[in-house]
């Protein structure tokens, strides 16, 4: 009885989370593991495809799949009845989640409800996560945080046909080659009999920790020793171990934090706040940087200062494990969410500082205009693609400096208006 009540309560919490997320965070920023961020430019305009178009594309794709080792029988059986999914295309073209501010993202990604669910999930799976931590050298709270962001601890793994999503995205053109390669990997998984019900989220990621098919091939492990690398069943063991294996492969260092929230001193040179500037902790300390609680900085080797929400938001000293999490998803918001959720699950403090919540995120159109105008003013943004990558951030910094503003590199409306 008690178990049933607990379950009911967990479901209620989960429903609240999903409502709060509008399912968009789960399916958007957080779902496409392994650095698939929709490219905001190509294919924004133009006709959407159709079932007939997909069927014709599959015809053309067939010899390429066979050449890649998929048998004709398996191809025909698997691809029969694969449906064009216009929702997947919309999702891929939709820019809303990339117009989200980091604080809006973190509010849902590291909500109190998700922390509560995570503590329960951790408790329930403690022995399993301890074994994974011992074998792969990745802290259980970090593995659990990925699980929490990718599928709300296994409860929201996605129910779209992986083959349908991948075929639609491969055919539809944008990043077609990438999705075609994933589709071929997916067909090999099906042909190998590794999966019964191959369902996932919109970009073809599936299972408890939302692996892409090629990542299954490279990184999935059979942790429970039943002969299958099963990321899709109720038992999360293989999936969680696979995530730990993935993070270990990319260089996870056990015992090193992803980062720590810091306080910058008055008059700090904001030119230094970029992942490109790496200094020993002793140098940051000498420059007056302290933890957000005012303590001396812990020394975990050379690190960088990051201001993901500009100089009026929280500041972080980050270490190489931050870049390891980026291998799951390159968005700063995602990495911070994993790091912060892991901290909370380990009983550490969450992010303390506020954010400049009155600032709204720039739209895609505005981000492109910002880049266009930066280029026109002699500050090379590295292309006009709407992505606020390192070159654009550097260009914003240079512009801010030239205009006597705090050079934090944050692409605010204020910067855009000054450029206008
Ligand atoms: Ca297994």
Q: Is the pLDDT of residue 18 over 50?
A: no
Please tell me the predicted confidence (pLDDT) of residue 44: 42
Q: What pTM does this model have?
A: 0.86
**242 CA distance to ligand 1 centroid (A)?**
10
**229 CA distance to ligand 1 centroid (A)?**
5
**221 CA distance to ligand 1 centroid (A)?**
7
φ/ψ of 213, rounded to 5, equals -55, -40
**246 CA distance to ligand 1 centroid (A)?**
16
**287 CA distance to ligand 1 centroid (A)?**
50
**237 CA distance to ligand 1 centroid (A)?**
8
Model confidence pLDDT, tens digit, residues 190-208 = 999 999 999 999 899 999 9
Model confidence pLDDT, tens digit, residues 74-107 = 999 999 989 999 988 888 876 444 568 899 999 9
Q: Is the pLDDT of residue 320 over 50?
A: yes
Label residue 8 left, alpha or beta by phi (over 0 means left) and psi (-120 to 50 means alpha). alpha
**224 CA distance to ligand 1 centroid (A)?**
5
**309 CA distance to ligand 1 centroid (A)?**
41
CA distance 46 to 27: 24
Model confidence pLDDT, tens digit, residues 136-146 = 999 999 999 99
**142 CA distance to ligand 1 centroid (A)?**
21
**220 CA distance to ligand 1 centroid (A)?**
10
**257 CA distance to ligand 1 centroid (A)?**
30
Average pLDDT, integer, range 32-36 = 37
CA distance 330 to 328: 7
| Residue 37 or residue 370, greater confidence | 370
**241 CA distance to ligand 1 centroid (A)?**
10
Model confidence pLDDT, tens digit, residues 117-168 = 999 999 999 999 999 999 999 999 999 999 999 999 999 999 999 999 999 9
Please tell me the predicted confidence (pLDDT) of residue 13: 47
CA distance 345 to 339: 10
**236 CA distance to ligand 1 centroid (A)?**
9
Label residue 326 left, alpha or beta by phi (over 0 means left) and psi (-120 to 50 means alpha). alpha
């Amino acid at each position: 009885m008690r178990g049933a009540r607990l379950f009911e309560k967990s479901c209620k919490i989960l429903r609240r989370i999903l409502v709060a997320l509008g399912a968009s965070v789960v399916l958007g920023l957080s779902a496409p593991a392994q650095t698939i961020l929709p490219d905001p430019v190509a294919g924004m305009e133009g006709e959407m495809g159709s079932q007939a178009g997909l069927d014709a594309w599959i015809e053309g794709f067939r010899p390429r799949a066979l050449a890649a080792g998929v048998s004709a029988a398996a191809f025909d059986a698997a691809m029969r009845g694969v449906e064009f999914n216009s929702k997947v295309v919309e999702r891929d073209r939709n820019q809303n989640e990339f117009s989200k501010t980091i604080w809006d993202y973190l509010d849902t990604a590291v909500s109190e409800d998700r922390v509560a669910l995570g503590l329960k999930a951790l408790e329930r799976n403690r022995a399993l996560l301890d074994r994974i931590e011992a074998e792969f050298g990745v802290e259980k709270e970090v593995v659990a945080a990925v699980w929490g962001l990718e599928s709300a601890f296994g409860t929201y793994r996605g129910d779209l046909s992986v083959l349908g999503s991948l075929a639609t995205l491969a055919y539809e053109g944008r990043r077609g080659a990438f999705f075609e390669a994933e589709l071929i990997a997916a067909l090999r998984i099906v042909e190998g009999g590794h999966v019964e019900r191959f369902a996932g989220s919109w970009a073809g990621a599936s299972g408890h920790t939302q692996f892409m098919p090629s990542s299954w091939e490279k990184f999935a492990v059979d942790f429970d020793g039943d002969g299958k690398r099963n990321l899709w069943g109720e038992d999360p063991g293989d999936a969680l171990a696979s995530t730990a294996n993935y993070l270990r492969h990319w260089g996870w260092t056990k015992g090193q934090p992803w980062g720590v929230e810091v306080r910058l001193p008055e008059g700090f040179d904001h030119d230094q706040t970029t992942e490109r500037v790496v200094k020993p902790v002793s140098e940051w300390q000498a420059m007056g940087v302290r933890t957000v609680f005012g303590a001396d900085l812990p020394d975990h080797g050379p690190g960088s200062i990051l201001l993901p929400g500009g100089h009026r938001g929280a500041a972080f000293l980050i270490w190489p494990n931050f870049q390891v999490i980026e291998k799951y998803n390159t968005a700063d918001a995602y990495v911070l969410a994993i790091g912060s959720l892991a901290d909370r699950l380990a009983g550490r403090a969450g992010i303390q500082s506020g954010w400049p919540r009155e600032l709204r995120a720039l739209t895609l159109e505005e981000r492109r205009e910002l880049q266009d105008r930066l280029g026109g003013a002699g500050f090379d943004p590295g292309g006009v693609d709407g992505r606020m990558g390192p070159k654009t951030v550097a260009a914003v910094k240079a512009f801010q400096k030239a205009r006597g503003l705090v050079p934090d590199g944050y692409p605010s409306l204020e910067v855009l208006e000054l450029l206008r």
